[in-house]
């Protein structure tokens, strides 16, 4: 399950071009039985992610890829609030027996050094505290590259989404290999 915002949902892209769909295609090509669910909602914040936890856990989720926080940072939400929400998500995943991979967010320079530094510190701190793998920056190699971003300068193009998917795959593959495969009921997330 990919819990995220418009970057996860694939805003401006065809459904099959969003990075979760690319991960799904790769898993199917390798004959691996995981079912990918894209739970990306455009505009979502970490608070929105917390609000959706009961919906997410209506099904069994073996692996949760958390890529939330960009909208918190862009809206200037206090760092402590963002971190508290991410902790709630990570605690719920722990309670449910779900393995987690956490993706980090970096903010543009115009948000000021102090806020940017404090915000960027959330993700490695939580990854260490909860002993979960961390993809340091979801948009590594894509952010700020006009060729890889849509005209808004925020959301990746199809080519940019392929690069994001490659980075996500590197962070996620080891977790999937370490997670026992179970027979999931039809329609259940793996």
Catalytic residue among 5, 44, 72, 155: 155
DSSP codes, 10-21: TTTS-GGGSHHH
DSSP codes, 96-161: HT-EEEEE-----GGG-HHHHHHHHHHHHHHHHHHT--EES-TTTTTTT-GGGB-TTSSSB-HHHH
Tally: H helices and E strands in the chain: 8, 5
Q: Is 72 a catalytic residue?
A: no
Q: Is 155 a catalytic residue?
A: yes
Catalytic residue among 6, 44, 62, 167: 6
Active site residues: 6, 152, 155
């Amino acid at each position: 399950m990919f819990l995220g915002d418009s970057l996860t949902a694939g805003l401006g892209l065809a459904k099959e071009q969003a990075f979760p769909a690319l991960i799904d295609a790769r898993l199917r090509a390798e004959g691996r039985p995981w079912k990918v669910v894209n739970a990306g909602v455009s505009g979502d914040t970490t608070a929105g992610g917390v609000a959706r936890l009961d919906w997410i856990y209506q099904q069994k989720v073996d692996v949760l890829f958390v890529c939330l926080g960009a909208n918190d940072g862009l809206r200037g939400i206090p760092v402590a609030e963002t971190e508290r929400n991410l902790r709630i998500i990570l605690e719920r995943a722990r309670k449910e027996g779900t393995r987690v991979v956490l993706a980090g967010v970096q903010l543009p320079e115009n948000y000021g050094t102090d806020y940017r530094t404090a915000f960027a510190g959330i993700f490695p701190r939580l990854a260490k505290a909860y002993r979960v793998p961390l993809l340091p920056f979801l948009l590594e190699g894509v952010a700020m590259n006009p060729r890889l971003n849509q005209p808004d300068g925020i959301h990746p193009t199809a080519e940019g989404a392929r690069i994001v998917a490659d980075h996500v795959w590197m962070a996620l593959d080891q977790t999937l290999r370490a997670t026992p495969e179970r027979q999931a009921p039809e329609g259940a997330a793996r």
